[in-house]
Structure 1
Amino acid sequence: MRYMNLMLEYLKNYVKSRMTYRADFWIEVFSDLLQQGMNLVFILIVFQHTPLLGGWSQSEVIFVYGFFMVPYGVFSTFFNIWNFGERYIVKGEMDRVLTRPAHSLYQVLLENIDPPSLFGSFVGMIVMAVCWMDMGLALHAVDVLVFVVLVIGAVFIYGGIYTALSALSFYSDSPTGIVPLMYNIQNYGRYPVNIYNKLIRFVLTWLLPFAFVGIIPASYFLEPKEDDISRLALLTPVMGLIVFSIGLTIWNRGVKRYRGAGS
C-alpha cells in the first residue's frame, strides 16, 4: 500500500505539472499516435505487393501489430528510462534517489512516468477489435483474462530488457548506443517470425525475446498458423518473469557497485 500511495502522489504531481502546459501534452500524444500510424501504413503498403506475409493475411498481421501496441504503450508509460545514464549517473541524480526509503528502480520509474503513451495502447485495442470482427473470430470470456495476462507478461519482458540496459550505466558512464539498437530490434517482434532465418528466429524467441511481445502472444487468439507459435503463447508471462528478474538482478548489482557522482 505504501508503494501504491507513492505512485498516486507521483501521478498527482505529474498531472499538476503537465496541465500547466496542456498544448505540450496533446502534441506528445499526437506525435506518438502519428508514429504508430506510419507503422500501420507501412504494413498496408507491404500488402499492396503480396497477399500473404509468411502465410499470414493482412488482417492477421495488423491484428498482431495492434497487440504489439498494447504492451508497448504500457511499457512506455511506466519504463520511460531512455535517458537514465545521462540524467542519473552523469548528472548525479542517483545520489538523491538513494537517500530515500523506497526501491531505487521504483523511484526512477515514477519520476519518468509518461501517461500519454497509454493512448497508444488504447489505439492498439481498437485495431485488434476491428481486425477481430473482420476475421469473424469468436470471443470467449476467458479470452479477456488471457489477454490481460499476456499483456502483463509482454510488459515485463520489455521492462526486464530495458532495465538491464539502463543498469549498464552503473558500469560505464559513456553512452553505449545499445538502447537505440535494441529499439530497432524490438520492432521485428511485431511480424511473423517464420519470415526470418533460423538464427534470427532463435534470437527473437529465446535470447532477446521480442517475439513474446507481439507475434507469439497474439497468435493465441488467431487460427493456428504454426503449432510451435501457438504452443509458446502461454509461456509469455513465464518469460516475462524470467526476463524481468534478470533485469532487476543486474540493476540491484549495479546499485551496489555505484559509488556516487563525486569527483
Structure 2
Amino acid sequence: MKKFKFYMRIYIKILVQDIKSKMSYREDFFISVIGIIFTNLAGFISFGIIFENFPSLGGWNYYEMLFFYGFSLVAITPMQCLFDNNWNLRGYIYTGDFIKYCFRPLNLFFYYISEIFDIKGLGQLVFGVIMLQYSWIHLELGFDFITVIELLICLPTASLFMIAIMNLAAATNFFILNSGYVMVTVFKFTDYVRYPNNIYNNVIKNFFRYIVPIAFVSYFPSRVFLTPDDIPPIVYVSPILGMLFFYISYRAWMFGASRYAGTGS
C-alpha cells in the first residue's frame, strides 16, 4: 500500500507538469480535440447513412450499433490518455534516449508510460459517453445499482484488453528494427472494435477473439447490457483474462526493455 501511494504521488506530480506544458500551447490542444470530435462524428454519420439503406447489420439495429461504438470509445480512452507514450518508444530506442529511463530508481514501465498524458483523448471520452447515453435511452435499457456495478467491471476490463494489445505491439520495438508499422497495423484493428464480432466470417471472428482480442474491448462486454438473457459464458471470466493479458503484456514490455543496451555510440 505504501508503494502504491508513493507511485500515485509521483504520477500526479508528473501528470500536472505534463498538462501544464501541453496547455501552454492551447491552440494546438483545442484544434486536436476538435479534430478527434469531428473524426468520431464522421463515424456517427456513417452509421446513419448505412442504416438508411439497411434496417439491421448482423441482427443489430441502429441504436445497438451506436452502443457498440460508444462503448468502444469509452473503453479505448484509458489506453489513449495514459499509455500514449508507447507511440514514442521507437524514437527513443532509435536515438538511444531510452537509456535515461534505465537508471532511475522507479519501475521502468511506470516511469516511461507516466511521462505522457494525452489530454486530447478526453474529447473522445466525452463523445463516447454522449453516444452511449444516446443509444442507452433509445434502447430503453434499465439503470440501477447492478447496472452500475456491471459498468464498473466491464469498462475497466475492456480497457485492460486494449492497453495490453498496444503494450505488446509497442514491445516489438525492442526486438524488431523499424517496427513502427507493427503498432500502426495493430492500432488499425481498433476500427473494427466499433462493430459486433458476429458480423464477420469465422476466420476474422476468431482472429479478433483469440489473436488480437478486440472482441473483448466492445462486443463481449456490450452483450452484458444489450442481451442480458444471452451473455456468452466467456464474459464471466473476462476480468480475470483481462488482468492476465495485461500482466503478460507488461512482462513482455519489461523483458524487451531488459534487453536494451543503447545505441553503442
TM range (shorter): over 0.9
In the superposition, the TM-score normalised over structure 2's length comes to 0.92
Deviates more, 1:251-260 or 1:171-180: 171-180
CA root-mean-square deviation = 1.7
| 1:77-108 Cα shifts (integer Å, max 9, x gaps) | 01103533432201112111111111111112
- Kindly provide the amino acid, as one letter, of the partner of residue 46 in structure 1: I
Please say if residues 86 and 167 of structure 2, whose CA atoms lie closer than 8 Å, have aligned partners that are also in contact: no
1:171 paired residue among 165, 175, 179? 175
- Kindly provide the amino acid, as one letter, of the partner of residue 152 in structure 1: P
Distance 2:137 2:178 in 1: 49
Deviates more, 1:209-218 or 1:233-242: 233-242
Query: Equivalent residue for 2:248?
Result: 246
Distance 2:22 2:178 in 1: 31
Cα drift, residue 234 of structure 1 = 3.4
Aligned partner of residue 34 in structure 1, secondary structure: helix
Equivalences, count: 261
Distance 1:200 1:224 in 2: 25
Please say if residues 166 and 187 of structure 2, whose CA atoms lie closer than 8 Å, have aligned partners that are also in contact: no
Question: Gaps (5+ residues) in structure 2?
Answer: none
Deviates more, 1:130-139 or 1:83-92: 83-92
Distance 1:236 1:150 in 2: 8
Please say if residues 150 and 234 of structure 1, whose CA atoms lie closer than 8 Å, have aligned partners that are also in contact: no
Q: 1:7-22 to 2 correspondence within 5 Å? A: 7-22=11-26
Q: 1:23-34 to 2 correspondence within 5 Å? A: 23-34=27-38
Please say if residues 165 and 178 of structure 1, whose CA atoms lie closer than 8 Å, have aligned partners that are also in contact: yes
Query: Equivalent residue for 1:190?
Result: 194
Query: Equivalent residue for 2:211?
Result: 207
Query: Equivalent residue for 1:59?
Result: 63
Work out the percentage of aligned pairs sharing the same amino acid: 28
Cα drift, residue 172 of structure 1 = 2.4
Distance 1:249 1:25 in 2: 33
Query: Equivalent residue for 2:257?
Result: 255
Moved over 6 A (4+): none
Distance 1:35 1:261 in 2: 38
Aligned partner of residue 264 in structure 2, secondary structure: coil
Distance 1:237 1:160 in 2: 13
Distance 1:30 1:86 in 2: 27
Distance 1:51 1:165 in 2: 37
Cα drift, residue 235 of structure 1 = 3.2
Question: Gaps (5+ residues) in structure 1?
Answer: none
| 1:33-58 Cα shifts (integer Å, max 9, x gaps) | 11111111121111111000000000
Cα drift, residue 121 of structure 1 = 1.5
Q: Does residue 1:114 correspond to 2:112, yes or no?
A: no
Aligned partner of residue 138 in structure 1, secondary structure: coil
Please say if residues 194 and 201 of structure 1, whose CA atoms lie closer than 8 Å, have aligned partners that are also in contact: yes
In the superposition, the TM-score normalised over structure 1's length comes to 0.93
Q: 1:42-191 to 2 correspondence within 5 Å? A: 42-191=46-195
- Kindly provide the amino acid, as one letter, of the partner of residue 39 in structure 1: G
Distance 1:5 1:119 in 2: 26
